[in-house]
Structure 1
Amino acid sequence: MTTAPTPVPTPAATDLSGGAGVLTATPVPRKRVRSLRRLGGSWLATVPLLLFFLVGFGLPAVAIVIGAFTASSDAETGAGEFTTANLTDSVQGAYQTALWSSVKLSALTALIATLIGLPIAQAVVTSRFRALREAVLTASGVLANFGGLPLAFAFVATLGNAGEITEMFDLTDHGWSLYSFTGLTVVYLYFLVPLMVLTVTPALDGLRVQWREAAQNNRATGFQYWRHVALPILFPSLLGGFVLLFGSAFAAYATAAAMVGATVPLISRSIADALSGNVLVGQGNLALALSLDMILVAVLVMAVYLPLQRRSARWLS
């Protein structure tokens, strides 16, 4: 007579917490294990990015802060001593003029590029021709990265004092000068407008057709739709594009240095002069203080943008 084999208890049925000394083991759910593994993998995937951010941004930022509060090597107090003289000098005299000029130029060009880039991007998004959309976006990607000496040479050859367009329309007789604040504004718009088109196009794609249809069903005009629906939703994205354009213009150096030189005072040009010793020797720490001023301006602008971006993400997601 054969007997049935005694069943072996599985880990799921083993009691590790019952009474009379009997314990029951509760298995960990598979979904929880998978979520923990994914979380660990996500953190490991961000390690290279965090290391790059630390080396590329963190260490230079720390060096700028330390150098900005350190006396220059040729100072009477000696090297390595704490001082606030660098920051004080960076917001006075010619340096204050250069900082304010850079802020005005960056804000003006970013605002104009935002106003011009938005309708262009809207025309691209609503176009029925896919080839036109791809052509405009491709051209915008190229023009947004076209700057420096080549851009300065192109404008000097076309809109300079002896440029082709200047002589063709006698622009000099009408008060036009490329080597001025107005001329530099026109040059910056050449790469800021395409950058705005690239920035705002994804946000325009996020506007749902149902919102426009609902507005039309309620007898809203196109102006009312943009005034009360589209623009409030797009405003954080537009502000984000403005911040991006402001930073791009604020940090630009090569184009302005090659085209206008010291004619238009800019903070980036002042930093280069302090580092190279064109004005005074041993002003490296003052250049770091000027760089810290630029960082503080960028931080203030970002502090306004980030809260609004969270509000826009809830609608466009």
Structure 2
Amino acid sequence: MAGGAQVRRRTGLWAVAGSHAGIVPFALFALLFLILPTLQIVTGAFQGADGGFTLSNLAGLSEPNIVNAALISIKISLLTALLGTVFGLLLAIAVTRGGLPPALRNATMTFSGVASNFAGVPLAFAFIATLGRLGLITVLLRDVFNINLAAMGFNLISFTGLTLAYLYFQIPLMVLIITPALDGLKREWREAAESLGATGTQYWRMVALPALWPSLLGTFALLFANAFGAVATAMALTGSSLSIIPIILFAQVRGDVLQDPHLGYAIAFGMIVVTALANVVYIALRARAERWVK
């Protein structure tokens, strides 16, 4: 009897180990490319050039150029998060509740999945080829419609241009995240509202939007974190002409003139704190929204 129990115990252990074997590659990947680098950044932020403990790196975050870059990053993150939330919500409502053909919804969701991950050098090149000084749209507006974007003050390598580039992946990301929440709106809620004499506008203002509010705020926080940490698109599009915090970080870690790796670690540590807080807000609000809908 004891031997049989021991065999069953071993069999159960092997079954548990086998059921969790699939997460081993992911756990190793997260350890090597997320956890250990993050620990190195946190450790480096509190180390001096001699390897000893210091707070001077964090004190360096108060330098005027770093503060100004952080403010610009926060502004562009807030603006793109707000615009991405509004326009993404409208687009998601149109494809889920607007009575459009299912094929159009599938095409929109497929495009959103691709566009939300389309960033970096390819996205910057696409915008330069489209809205740059000799871009397709720029030349077309100038030669055909006599509209000179440059004379009107538009410059792709600016705050406005970078905002447009960020919106290219912010809006599709909003569509992907908010669509399940829209699908979670129960049909009975609208039927009950209509039976009580509510119009479509009143339904959205008094029922749907209050139900979606935690999801909207959570997604806004996620879009903020997504824009705040974006670096490749900004580097490729604006170079050093627009000073945002990821570019300052890159200059401190990889630059030839301003190189100070430990100050770079401190900047990266600050970015981790900001993005982590935004993601915590998103997770908390998303969990609340899911409980409310259930």
Normalization by structure 1: what TM-score? Answer: 0.80
The 1-side partners of 2:33 and 2:254 are apart by 23
Counterpart check, 1:102 vs 2:73: yes
Select the residue among 242, 249, 255 that pairs with 2:227: 249
CA distance in 2, matches of 1:141, 1:202: 14
Match of residue 271, structure 1, among 225, 245, 249: 249
Between 188-197 and 246-255, the greater mean CA deviation after superposition? 246-255
Helix, strand or coil at the partner of 1:116: helix
Query: In structure 1, which of residues 246, 254, 259 is the aligned counterpart of residue 237 of structure 2?
Result: 259
CA apart distance, 1:179: 1.0
Aligned-partner Cα distance in 2 for 1:139–1:52 = 28
Aligned CA RMSD, in angstroms, stands at 2.4
Distance 2:100 2:165 in 1: 31
Report matched runs for 1:91-240 at 5 Å. 91-126=62-97, 127-167=99-139, 168=141, 169-240=147-218
- Decide whether aligned partners of structure 1 residues 113 and 38 sit closer, same or farther in structure 2, where only a CA change above 3 A counts: farther
Q: 1 or 2, which has the higher helix percentage?
A: 2
Q: What one-letter code is carried by the residue in structure 2 that aligns with 1:213?
A: E
Question: Structure 1's 173 and 277: CA in aligned 2 closer, same or farther, altered over 3 A?
Answer: closer
**Paired amino acid for 1:195:** L
Q: What is the TM-score of this pair, normalised by structure 2?
A: 0.86
TM superposition shift of 1:121: 0.6
1:300 pairs with 269, 277, 283, which one?
A: 277
Equivalent residue letter for 2:282: Y
Closer, same or farther in 2 for the Cα pair 1:210/1:97, shift >3 Å? same
C-alpha deviation, 1:202, in angstroms: 1.0
Aligned to 1:89: 60
Q: What whole-Å deviation, never above 9, does each CA across 1:38-73 have from its counterpart, x for those lacking one? A: 98877666565444433332222211111000002x
The SS at the match of 1:212 is helix
Show structure 2 runs of 5+ residues with no match.
2-12, 142-146
Show the counterpart of 1:59: 36
- Change in Cα spacing, 1:137 to 1:177, as seen in structure 2 (3 Å) is same
- Amino acid in the other structure paired with 1:258: A
% identity of equivalent residues? 48
Shift of 1:106: 1.0
CA distance in 1, matches of 2:281, 2:43: 27
In structure 2, what is the equivalent of residue 26 of structure 1?
none
8 Å contact kept, 2:225–2:279: no
Structure 2 CA distance, aligned partners of 1:38 and 1:103?
49
Partner Cα separation in structure 2 for residue 37 and residue 219 of structure 1: 61
- Name the structure, 1 or 2, with higher relative contact order (CA <8 Å, separation 6+): 2
Aligned residues: 278
Alpha-carbon spacing, 1:44–1:235, altered in 2? closer, same or farther (3 Å): farther
Q: Which of the two has higher C-alpha Rg? A: 1
